[in-house]
Amino acid sequence: MKKKYLGIVAMLAAVMLVFAACGSDSSSADKANGSTKGDKEVSGSLTAVGSTALQPLVEAASKEFTNTNPKAQINVQGGGSGTGLTQVQQGAVEIGNSDVFAEEKDGVDASKLVDHRVAVVGMAPVVNKDVGVKNITKQQLIDIFTGKTTNWKDVGGKDEKITIINRAEGSGTRATFEKWGLDGKTPIKAQEQDSSGTVRKIVSETPGAISYLAFSYIDASVVGLSLDGVEPTEDKVATNDWKIWSYEHMYTNGEPKGLTKTFLKYMTSDEVQNNIVPQLGYQSIKSMKVERDSSGKLTDVK
């Protein structure tokens, strides 16, 4: 009887070890994928401030994150990339959201900040559907925005005056377009708009209009121009054949810890990158075949 009892105890112990191992494997797999589901110990609060272009993605991801981590609180605010970089540098917030590299902002000591890239945004010049142009050269684009070319007939389109719609100074979208679309040239003074939706509406309703938009805002109401025969697509962005694109950055002052570290890990998880990122019109960082630094140097993604 005693041997039988000991045998039953040994069997139960073995079963408990199997269940424990399964639970451990599951937890390890979740952590490896960047998931925080089931992690009941995640708690605390953090504030992310900055880029309005990145704000919708961070808000959507934070909502999903806090749904599965009810003890955590994440505050997301806009204010622009400059504000985000300045406040995270000062230690006023845990995360500074930015459309541009910290090295590109005056007054920001990039050496003290740690860059976490969470998405990619492709951008393209867009025109009114009636201008009669779908492809121009890079130099023609520069000539249009610097005022050297003022009629669409000079680039193969209708005999129609070109009307430029610009983004406001300080806009991350504008900075990216000027750097990679205009090779750093300064555009002429023109009407400026803060909202991508407003830009699209004005271009679609104004004869001869041209501006630029993130891929996610380009629809059938406007025409996205190809440059030198290269179409503005995510596949072309991934290889840098289409050069007008930027990272969406989430900066921390030093290496992140605690809730900040966990949330940033979640931002690059498959759950966010494969679902929330494309649903909101961004491009996953995991789709990139190359990396680009603040100086424009390219390296292959390993």
- The CATH superfamily holding the domain 44-121+246-300 is Periplasmic binding protein-like II (3.40.190.10)
Q: Give the start-to-end residue ranges of the domains of the chain.
A: 44-121+246-300, 122-239
Name the nearest CA neighbour of 155 among 166, 141, 165, 167. Answer: 141
Compute the distance between CA of residue 77 and CA of residue 103 in angstroms, rounded to an integer. 22
Can you tell me the mean pLDDT for 247-269? 97
DSSP 36: -
Q: Do 44-121+246-300 and 122-239 share a fold?
A: yes
Architecture per CATH, 122-239: 3-Layer(aba) Sandwich (3.40)
pLDDT of residue 30: 44
Q: Mind listing the pLDDT tens digit for each residue in 79-123?
A: 888 899 999 999 999 999 998 999 998 899 999 999 999 999 999
Is 199 a residue whose pLDDT tops 50? yes
Compute the distance between CA of residue 86 and CA of residue 2 in angstroms, rounded to an integer. 73
Name the nearest CA neighbour of 193 among 204, 185, 180, 202. Answer: 202
Residue whose entry in the numeric block shows the structure tokens 């000591």: 109
> Could you tell me the pTM of the whole model?
0.80
Max intra-chain CA distance, the chain: 103
Strands 44-50 and 72-79, bridge-based pairing: parallel
Residue whose entry in the numeric block shows the structure tokens 């030093």: 254
First to last CA, the chain: 63
Q: Mind listing the pLDDT tens digit for each residue in 131-157?
A: 999 999 999 999 999 999 999 999 999
Is 2 a residue whose pLDDT tops 80? no
36 pLDDT tier (thresholds 50, 70, 90): low
Asked whether the beta carbons of 83 and 251 are under 8 A apart, the reply is no
